[in-house]
Amino acid sequence: MAAMENRRILAYSVDAAEFPDLAARYGVRSVPQTVVDGQTQVIFVGRQPEEQFVAELLRASEG
């Protein structure tokens, strides 16, 4: 959804079982796991409330 609000954001939903190599690259052990790459990389596990999710995006963008 965030990608639809800002064209500087690209969003991928990845089936970890179908792409185990990709999942291993980011150390995915439980799902959902979200990886945000920006000025810095932010990783979090589990579904976050909207406010927390936005805070994680801002953290990744600000470095």
Partner 1 sequence: MGIISDAQQRQIKVLLDNHLQDPVEVLFFYADPHDPHTAAMQEILDRLGTASGGRLRVSVKGGREGRARAAAYKVEQAPALVLLDKDGRDTRVRFYGTAVGYEFMVFLEDVIDVSRGTTRLSEPARRAIRAIDQDLVIQVYTTPT
By the criterion CB under 8 A, which residues form the site for partner 1? 1-19, 22-23, 26, 28, 31-39, 50-51, 53-54, 57-58, 60-62
| Greatest Cα-to-Cα distance within the chain, rounded to the nearest angstrom | 32
Task: Respond yes or no on whether the N-terminal peptide bond of residue 32 is cis (omega within 30° of 0).
Answer: yes
CB of 55 to partner 1, least distance (A): 9
In DSSP terms, 43 is beta-bridged to 35
Q: Least CB distance from residue 45 to partner 1, whole Å?
A: 9
Query: Minimum CB separation from partner 1 for residue 33, in Å?
Result: 5
| Residues 44 and 34: beta-carbon distance below 8 Å | yes
